[in-house]
C-alpha cells in the first residue's frame, strides 16, 4: 500500500453500497458525454431491436409507452469514480421488448446504439432478468436531454457508460462486438464491483 503523506480523505462512514474506488456524488449528477447533446424530441425517437431475433421490431414513443410500466430505484456508478444513491427511473423493462422480438437461442451478446451514433456492447445476460430498462422519467419528471432524454437504456449494475443515452436500438448478436468506448480503451463488461474500468482490468 502506497500511503500518501498527509492524506486522510474526507470524513466517511462505511457504505456497503459503494463499489471500490468510488465516491458518493450526493445530490450531483455529473454529465458525461463526449458528443453534442442532440435535439431529439419524443416524436423523433424510436427504438429498434434487431439482429439475431425472430421478429425485428421498431417501437415509436406512443407504442413504447403503451407497454407495462416498470421502474428502477437504486444506485448508479460511473467509471469516472462517482456513484449516486437512491435514484429513481421510470420506463419499461428491457425484458418486455426482448420478449416481443424473441432472441435466437444462439444469441449471447448485444450492441446498444444511440441516435447520436454512440454504441456499447453488453452480454445478453446483463440485459435480461429484470436488470435493464428503457427509461424516460427521472425522479418522476421527463429525463433531461443531457442525461439521455427523451429515452435511454439503463443497466445499473454495470458502469454507467453501458447505459446508452438517446437509445436508438439494440442489435442482438451471437458474439461480442466492442462498442465505441470499448474500442477507445474501456473495459468490455464494466462491473463496478470488480473495478472493470479499462481494457485489461
Partner 1 sequence: MTETTTFVPPSRFAVPGRIAVDTQTATTWQTATLTEIRRETPNAATFRFAVPAWAGHLPGQHLMLRLTAGDGYVAQRHYSIASSPDDSGHIELTLDHVDGGEVSGWFHTVARPGDSVEVRGPLSGFFAWPGDRAALLVGAGSGVVPLMSMLRHHRARSLDVPLRLLVSARSPEELIYAREYGAETTTVFTRAAPDGVPVGRMTAAHVEPLMAEAPPGGWEAYICGSNAFAEHASRLLVTAGQPVDRIRIERFG
Per CB under 8 A, residues contacting partner 1 are 1-10, 12, 20-21, 23, 30-38, 48, 51-52, 80-81, 104, 111, 113-119, 146, 168-169, 171-175, 180-181, 183-186, 197-201
For residues 179 and 150, the answer to whether their CB atoms sit within 8 Å is no
Q: What angle do CA 82, 83, 86 make, to 5 degrees?
A: 150
The nearer residue to partner 1, 63 or 81, going by C-beta atoms, is: 81
The nearer residue to partner 1, 25 or 71, going by C-beta atoms, is: 25
Least spacing, CB of residue 200 vs partner 1, in Å: 4
Q: How far apart are CA 54 and CA 75, in angstroms?
A: 34
Instruction: State the first-to-last Cα distance of the chain, in angstroms, to the nearest integer.
Output: 19
Least spacing, CB of residue 11 vs partner 1, in Å: 10
3-state class of 46 per DSSP?
strand
Least spacing, CB of residue 130 vs partner 1, in Å: 25
3-state class of 123 per DSSP?
strand
Least spacing, CB of residue 69 vs partner 1, in Å: 26
The nearer residue to partner 1, 105 or 140, going by C-beta atoms, is: 105
Count CA within 13 A, CB hemisphere, residue 169.
14
Residue 192, number of CB atoms within 10 A of its CB: 24
The nearer residue to partner 1, 53 or 158, going by C-beta atoms, is: 53
Least spacing, CB of residue 79 vs partner 1, in Å: 9
Amino acid at each position: 500500500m502506497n500511503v500518501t503523506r498527509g492524506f486522510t480523505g474526507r470524513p466517511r462512514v462505511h457504505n456497503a453500497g459503494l463499489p471500490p474506488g468510488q465516491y458518493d456524488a450526493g445530490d450531483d449528477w455529473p454529465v458525461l458525454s463526449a458528443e453534442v447533446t442532440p435535439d431529439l424530441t419524443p416524436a423523433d425517437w424510436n427504438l429498434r431491436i434487431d439482429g439475431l431475433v425472430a421478429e425485428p421490431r421498431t417501437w415509436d414513443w406512443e407504442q413504447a409507452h403503451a407497454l407495462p410500466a416498470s421502474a428502477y430505484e437504486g444506485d448508479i456508478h460511473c467509471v469516472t469514480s462517482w456513484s449516486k444513491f437512491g435514484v429513481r427511473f421510470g420506463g419499461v423493462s428491457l425484458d418486455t421488448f426482448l420478449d416481443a422480438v424473441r432472441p435466437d437461442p444462439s444469441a449471447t451478446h448485444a450492441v446498444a446504439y444511440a441516435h447520436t451514433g454512440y454504441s456499447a456492447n453488453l452480454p445478453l445476460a446483463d440485459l435480461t432478468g429484470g436488470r435493464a430498462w428503457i427509461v424516460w422519467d427521472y425522479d418522476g419528471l421527463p429525463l433531461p436531454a443531457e442525461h439521455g432524454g427523451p429515452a435511454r437504456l439503463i443497466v445499473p449494475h454495470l458502469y454507467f457508460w453501458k447505459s446508452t443515452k438517446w437509445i436508438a436500438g439494440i442489435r442482438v448478436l451471437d458474439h461480442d462486438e466492442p462498442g465505441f468506448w470499448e474500442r477507445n480503451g474501456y473495459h468490455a463488461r464494466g462491473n463496478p464491483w470488480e473495478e472493470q474500468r479499462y481494457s485489461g482490468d
